[in-house]
Amino acid sequence: MTARFHIALTFDDNFWAPAYATMRSVCLFAHRREALVFHLCHRTLTPEHRADIERITSEFPVTLHWYDLDQSEMFRDIAARMPENKRLSNIVYARLMLDRLVGPAVERILYLDCDMLVRDDIGYLFELDLGDKAIAAVRDTIGAFITGGRDLKRNRDIFDPADYYFNAGLVLIDVAKWREADIIGQMEQAYATGVMQRIYYDQDLLNLIFKDQWLKLDWRWNTIDARHAHEGLDPAILHYTGENKPWGIFAGMLQSVAYARLYRHVMTNELFYRFARHRWKQWWKKRLRLGR
């Protein structure tokens, strides 16, 4: 039995509350809570919001490790040079550095996006036999469109639509094999040859690096674009990849996503409504800037 369950999240200050909700959902549905170790790769995080996240240790016997990416010369260099993800920011590149952040003692780590709700025991994933595979993940339901774009013709010299493509919102990682893959080195090479400028950021890169080297998990461990209909299928992890999120500031946003009410209570009502006020302020600031 695995002694510790190492889980990594990456987020900036705009996602502190969803990060907390993902972490708390892991805790609520895990049986061995004392085995949970969260590796929190963050940037621009205010002391107030860090304190919000640290409150989880008063409810559950978990361990937190913090990594301030603003103090990482490697991350700053990568974030400045690589193609910018305008929707998610260049925090997406942080997961590529996990092997360099967590150290040699961590043998297996589960990466989770912060727009996820866990409702099953993640201990199951840590007991999986990966065989000779470097990672385990779930096939992306729209992988061919992500790589191929309109008419599925873009980047056909890089990707074959017949190949399975995984969603990188959940990745179970054999750290030694991840380290052997030299992901940062391969990213530098892809940038030098112009490939990074053409592909969908780090997710495409990981699919190129680990082609045929990933174990396909059942869909329920990363239920992509989680909608109401999924509730009847007993998903293990909901992934809110669509435009509507369970923390949406407009009522209509909540009506189409799965387990919206459960999500609010997992985040806790106090933090949910405080995060809603935070997002309202951000929304109005953006509107006022556009109106100038």
Burial 44-53 (b: 16+ CB within 10 A, else e): ebeeebbebb
Q: What percent of the chain has pLDDT over 70?
A: 93
Domain count, the chain: 1
On whether the CB atoms of residues 36 and 49 are closer than 8 A, the answer is no
230-256: pLDDT as tens digits: 999 999 999 999 889 999 866 555 668
Token pair listed for 215:
């174990």
pLDDT of residue 195: 94
The single-letter code of the amino acid at 92 is: V
- How many Cβ atoms from other residues are within 10 Å of residue 34's Cβ? 12
Name the E strands within the chain: 5-12, 36-43, 63-68, 108-112, 116-118, 135-139, 166-174, 214-216, 223-224, 237-239
Higher pLDDT, 18 or 79: 18
Q: Which helix (H) or strand (E) holds 203?
A: helix 201-209
| Global confidence as pTM | 0.94
109-153: pLDDT as tens digits: 999 999 999 999 999 999 999 999 999 999 999 999 999 999 999
pLDDT of residue 193: 95
Q: In whole angstroms, what is the distance from residue 41 CA to residue 91 CA?
A: 9
Q: In whole angstroms, what is the distance from residue 112 CA to residue 95 CA?
A: 10
Domain range for residue 189? 5-290
pLDDT band at 103 (very low <50, low <70, confident <90, very high): confident
Q: What is the CATH number of the domain that holds 240?
A: 3.90.550.10
106-119: pLDDT as tens digits: 999 999 999 999 99
